[in-house]
A and B are shown apart, each in its own frame.
Chain A
Amino acid sequence: MLFNSLTFIVFFAVVVTLYWSIRSWNARKNLLVTASYIFYGAWNPPFAALLFSTTAMDFWLGRQIAKAKNRSSRRAWLVASVCMNLSMLGFFKYGNFLLENFQWLLARIEVIYHPPHLDILLPVGISFYTFHSLSYTLDIYRGVLQPTRSLRDFVLAVSFFPQLVAGPIVRAGDFLPQLVRPPRLRIGQFLWGLSLMTLGLFEKIVLADTMLAGSADRIFGYAGPLVALDSWLGVIAFAGQIFFDFAGYSTCAIGAALCLGFHLKDNFRFPYAAIGFSDFWRRWHISLSTFLRDYLYIPLGGNRVGWTRAAINLVIVMFLGGLWHGAAWTFVVWGLLHGSYLVIEHASRALIGERAWTENFAVKLLLGLVTYGAVCLAWVFFRASDFTIATRMLRGMFGGHPHGDAILATREMLQIGIVTFFMMLAHWSLRETNIETAVTRLPRWIVTAAWALMACAIILTQGSSNAFIYFQF
């Protein structure tokens, strides 16, 4: 079920009404579990069984870890949980990718092998809910979380429908405490949740799908050489599209959770105003970057193990982060590029150190724009479905096709320019604050007008239930 569909509007209205009408906290939690499984099953009912089995296994393994008397058995149970989750992810998401690469490797030593193409349907959001679930056993192992006694609560923590299929990646440790006591219905919170949902849908339906997606799709789908202007605009359009698409989903999820009295953390903090790549990853897909930091980068030694090892750790983390996004080498290159950016940034910081001139606004702005440009370059590999397209795009961007084709209409160019300009303006204006503070400070009439205009734009756009980009991950 997509947030931008009529089914969801009806579903959400029914769930919210029932939820706040029921007095018993247990009954309300049961309702949320049922609703979450309906939400998930509405895509493909059999996958709901897969979701439940993963969850139930981790619930049981979490208890085994907590009960284990010594370190080696704790570790064995943790390894079982990690293997179970990653093998599930590996089979559904990377099965064909691994087979194809195995075939390619054999071909290098002149062994001809034709593996059967596995007709595997990727369960929606498997990368997200696997991480929701895995965070539980990892945190119990780390000793920062005690296992919950309620399977129902854990099932709800993993499957809570606002964040189930495309994040934010909500750790069980952040969600389970919210199931201890029932939240109270607070009108301000509820209506703020609704306005966040409006903002999220506006970002998705109007800005991502209507203003930017068409141009990005045409540029990346064009089989011929493109002039530099069109190539750059295509990449800039995609940079905006993926932000509005994913941030839109996260904002909707946060809003929907608030309407039900739950608090999810921010997943984006104006990332295109980032100054440097560490800053970028503190602002982009925060729930994934902190997950990788806490469960991968720090266990690898983080930055406490010497400069070279820390650099290698960064590259390993970003390599796996890239692979997490999709079973293709283009995603790996995207991750490695970001890993390299981070290494270069760390090296530059070590060389330059803290200098007063780096605090100058003009320098910050310049560094911010350099960051944005480098992030856009990396998006080429993220969006291109193969290296031929990526190479062609990069060649076009750097003047390799002076006599290439121009395929964007002036209207599309204006749309990309205007949306990107206002997006950057908003990100730079708000980079040191948050949306709640901004809304509190703005005159009431501006808040009212913005909310009303966003709602009208959503209605006018109508939407055609385009799936969110991150569903495929």
Chain B
Amino acid sequence: MPSSTSNFKRILRLPRLFFRQPTEAESVHGGPPLEFERPIPQIPWRGITVIVVLFVIAAASAWEFYCRSIGYGPTLNDNEDLWTITRRRAQPESIVIIGDSRGWYDLDLDELQKGLGKRPVQLAMAGSCAYPVLADLADDKTFHGTIICSFVPGLFFAPPGTPPMERGEKAVRRSHTQSPAQRGSEYLAMPLEEHVAFLKQQDLTLEQLLKRLPIPNRLGALVPPRLPPYFGTVDRERRARMIEECARGGKLATTIQQIWLPIFTPPPPPSYVPKDVFMAKMKDAIEKRFGDTIAAVEKLRARGGKVVFVRLPVSGGLKALEDRTTPRDQTWDPLLQAAGAPGIYFEDFPELAGFNCPEWSHLSAGDSVEFSKRLVPHLRAALGM
């Protein structure tokens, strides 16, 4: 090795070693075509491929047959790309439904179109907070239509960083950033999902199947609550309909009822935040949501837009839980008062109050049609039509 002194000048003359002589292994363009060639395993590839293809076709067919035999049917997966495609349908004067899964399942587009004169654009999302979409529409200077906002207090006041907020934010973000490739994939996926029952991301992916394994958790482990299994279908307009098996009541509906209770029960304060600090933060977050909502509604109204809040039916133990944890006089009433917006609370009207939700949170497909028919006059009155 040369001494550091004798090498000193050369070291400083950067990039000295760019002058390194090429090694023999480094070929020159135009030389032999390949200095490197990947080895290819010498095995009977044709035979193996035929067996693999036949096996995969057989396995996929068997899985499809099994899934249909246990009650699954083909339906679209609701995701940010389908939402974005639907969001693009919203015209400046459209009627748009936003909010949670109750707005998604309980409102029938045909009945609303008949009653309101325009076919609404369905932008409500399961388990999501309405605010990010409301704010996005308020910021969309071209939009001056009508918003029907489904209101579930636990979701509407979900603080930033929680799954309901993130769901809404993710969809809005995708609508601003969707690439041509993402749009293309969604258009290719739709016909497949309309014909193949096992393509059900909510329920039949490997991840979801693993989640169903009955493995007990450690004592005190803070594991997220289980989400409900498949109980509805979605079409290209994002109209959700409860499947018959769930609408009939019985085991599926009962299972889902028991899943809603932990999901809608407010979580305890995290172990690492003192209770009073946590409660103060929650109070601030709720107050901020009030303020932000009012600002968004005013922005829309200033352009001639309209917003109507709707509290859709809820039943059984879930209704008792919601009434207890998010009472009307602390959520619904102050929001309407502060926003100065009209609202329709299903319990205020006998013709809307008599519906039963089979799994406590959503109306059956048949009931959603009747409910929407009965809701139309109230919507017209609220919107001054």
Is B385 in the interface zone, CB < 8 Å from A?
A: no
Is A400 in the interface zone, CB < 8 Å from B?
A: no
Chain B, 31-48, contact with A by CB distance < 8 Å: what is the 0/1 string?
A: 111111111111111101
Nearest to B3 among chain A residues (CB) is A306
Q: Is the CB of A214 within 8 A of B207?
A: yes
Q: Is the CB of A452 within 8 A of B38?
A: no
Q: Is the CB of A407 within 8 A of B181?
A: no
Residues in B with CB closer than 8 Å to A278 are none
Nearest to B180 among chain A residues (CB) is A42
Is B189 in the interface zone, CB < 8 Å from A?
A: yes
The prevalent SS among residues of B at the interface is loop
Given A45-B180, A306-B4, verify A436-B38 contact (CB < 8 Å).
yes
Is A5 in the interface zone, CB < 8 Å from B?
A: yes
Is B15 in the interface zone, CB < 8 Å from A?
A: yes
Residues in B with CB closer than 8 Å to A67 are none
Q: Is the CB of B185 within 8 A of A210?
A: no
Q: Is the CB of A444 within 8 A of B185?
A: no
* Most central of A148, A225, A434, A459 by chain B CB within 10 Å: A459
Q: Is the CB of A439 within 8 A of B41?
A: yes
Cα–Cα distance between A98 and B266 once the two chains are bound (Å)? 42
Chain B, 16-60, contact with A by CB distance < 8 Å: what is the 0/1 string?
A: 111111100011111111111111111111101101100110011
Count A interface residues, CB 8 Å. Answer: 86
Q: Is the CB of B60 within 8 A of A462?
A: no
Closest-CB distance, B204 to chain A (whole angstroms)? 8
Is A300 in the interface zone, CB < 8 Å from B?
A: yes
Residues in B with CB closer than 8 Å to A440 are 41-43
Residues in A with CB closer than 8 Å to B35 are 177
Given A187-B45, A440-B41, A462-B201, verify A301-B30 contact (CB < 8 Å).
no
Residues in B with CB closer than 8 Å to A172 are 29
**Stretch from B219-227, B291-299, B367-375 at the A interface:** B219-227
Cα–Cα distance between A5 and B42 once the two chains are bound (Å)? 30
Cα–Cα distance between A143 and B221 once the two chains are bound (Å)? 62
Residues in B with CB closer than 8 Å to A189 are 40
Which of B4, B210, B272 lies in contact with A305, CB distance below 8 A?
B4
Is B303 in the interface zone, CB < 8 Å from A?
A: no
Is A106 in the interface zone, CB < 8 Å from B?
A: no
* Most central of B52, B185, B198, B221 by chain A CB within 10 Å: B52
Q: Is the CB of B20 within 8 A of A142?
A: yes
Is B14 in the interface zone, CB < 8 Å from A?
A: yes
Cα–Cα distance between A387 and B2 once the two chains are bound (Å)? 42
Closest-CB distance, A35 to chain B (whole angstroms)? 13
Is B324 in the interface zone, CB < 8 Å from A?
A: no
Cα–Cα distance between A172 and B29 once the two chains are bound (Å)? 9
Given A406-B222, A452-B55, verify A173-B34 contact (CB < 8 Å).
no
Nearest to A172 among chain B residues (CB) is B29
Given A305-B11, A456-B56, verify A436-B40 contact (CB < 8 Å).
yes
Nearest to B273 among chain A residues (CB) is A224
Residues in B with CB closer than 8 Å to A465 are 182, 185
Chain A, 451-473, contact with B by CB distance < 8 Å: what is the 0/1 string?
A: 11001110111101100000000
Q: List which A157-209 residues lie within 8 A (CB) of chain B.
A: 172-174, 176-178, 180-181, 186-189, 191-192, 194, 206
Q: Is the CB of B52 within 8 A of A299?
A: no
Closest-CB distance, B230 to chain A (whole angstroms)? 14
Q: Is the CB of A298 within 8 A of B45?
A: no
Is B199 in the interface zone, CB < 8 Å from A?
A: yes
Which of A2, A42, A406, A444 lies in contact with B43, CB distance below 8 A?
A444
Q: Is the CB of B270 within 8 A of A223?
A: yes
Cα–Cα distance between A1 and B180 once the two chains are bound (Å)? 8
Given A146-B28, A301-B11, A405-B271, verify A265-B36 contact (CB < 8 Å).
yes
Nearest to A304 among chain B residues (CB) is B1
Closest-CB distance, A427 to chain B (whole angstroms)? 19
Residues in B with CB closer than 8 Å to A437 are 39, 41
Residues in A with CB closer than 8 Å to B209 are 460
Q: Is the CB of B221 within 8 A of A407?
A: yes
Is A118 in the interface zone, CB < 8 Å from B?
A: no
Cα–Cα distance between A397 and B17 once the two chains are bound (Å)? 43
Is A356 in the interface zone, CB < 8 Å from B?
A: no
Residues in A with CB closer than 8 Å to B7 are 301, 304-306
Is B179 in the interface zone, CB < 8 Å from A?
A: yes
Q: Is the CB of B40 within 8 A of A5?
A: no
Q: List which B199-229 residues lie within 8 A (CB) of chain A.
A: 199, 201, 204-207, 209-211, 213, 215-218, 220-223
Q: Is the CB of B28 within 8 A of A144?
A: yes
Is B79 in the interface zone, CB < 8 Å from A?
A: yes
Q: Is the CB of A405 within 8 A of B211?
A: no
Which of A43, A173, A186, A299 lies in contact with B27, CB distance below 8 A?
A173
Closest-CB distance, A13 to chain B (whole angstroms)? 12
Nearest to B42 among chain A residues (CB) is A440
Residues in B with CB closer than 8 Å to A7 are 181-182, 184-185, 188
Nearest to B222 among chain A residues (CB) is A407
Q: Is the CB of A173 within 8 A of B205?
A: no
Q: Is the CB of B217 within 8 A of A451?
A: no
Q: Is the CB of A177 within 8 A of B34?
A: yes
Cα–Cα distance between A346 and B188 once the two chains are bound (Å)? 54
Cα–Cα distance between A194 and B49 once the two chains are bound (Å)? 10
Q: Is the CB of A444 within 8 A of B48?
A: yes
Nearest to B209 among chain A residues (CB) is A460
Is A258 in the interface zone, CB < 8 Å from B?
A: yes
Closest-CB distance, A453 to chain B (whole angstroms)? 9
Closest-CB distance, B272 to chain A (whole angstroms)? 4
Is A302 in the interface zone, CB < 8 Å from B?
A: yes
Q: Is the CB of A188 within 8 A of B45?
A: yes
Is A6 in the interface zone, CB < 8 Å from B?
A: yes
Residues in B with CB closer than 8 Å to A451 are 48, 52
Closest-CB distance, A373 to chain B (whole angstroms)? 24
Closest-CB distance, A28 to chain B (whole angstroms)? 15
**Stretch from A240-248, A334-342, A409-417 at the B interface:** A409-417
Cα–Cα distance between A44 and B177 once the two chains are bound (Å)? 9
Is A138 in the interface zone, CB < 8 Å from B?
A: yes
27 A–B contacts from the bound complex (CB under 8 Å): A6-B184, A7-B182, A43-B180, A142-B18, A143-B22, A146-B29, A172-B29, A177-B32, A188-B40, A188-B42, A210-B210, A224-B272, A258-B38, A298-B17, A299-B17, A309-B4, A405-B272, A406-B220, A409-B217, A414-B215, A415-B210, A434-B39, A436-B41, A440-B41, A444-B44, A461-B205, A462-B204
Known: A411-B210, A440-B42, A464-B79. 16 other contacts (CB 8 A): A6-B184, A7-B182, A7-B188, A43-B179, A144-B28, A173-B27, A178-B33, A180-B33, A265-B36, A301-B11, A301-B16, A407-B223, A444-B43, A448-B55, A452-B51, A460-B209
Report the 5 A-B pairs with minimum CB-CB distance, sorted nearest first. A224-B272, A42-B181, A144-B22, A191-B45, A6-B188
Chain B interface (Cβ within 8 Å of chain A)? Answer: 1-2, 4, 7, 11, 14-22, 26-46, 48-49, 51-52, 55-56, 59-60, 63, 79, 179-182, 184-185, 188-189, 192, 198-199, 201, 204-207, 209-211, 213, 215-218, 220-223, 270-273
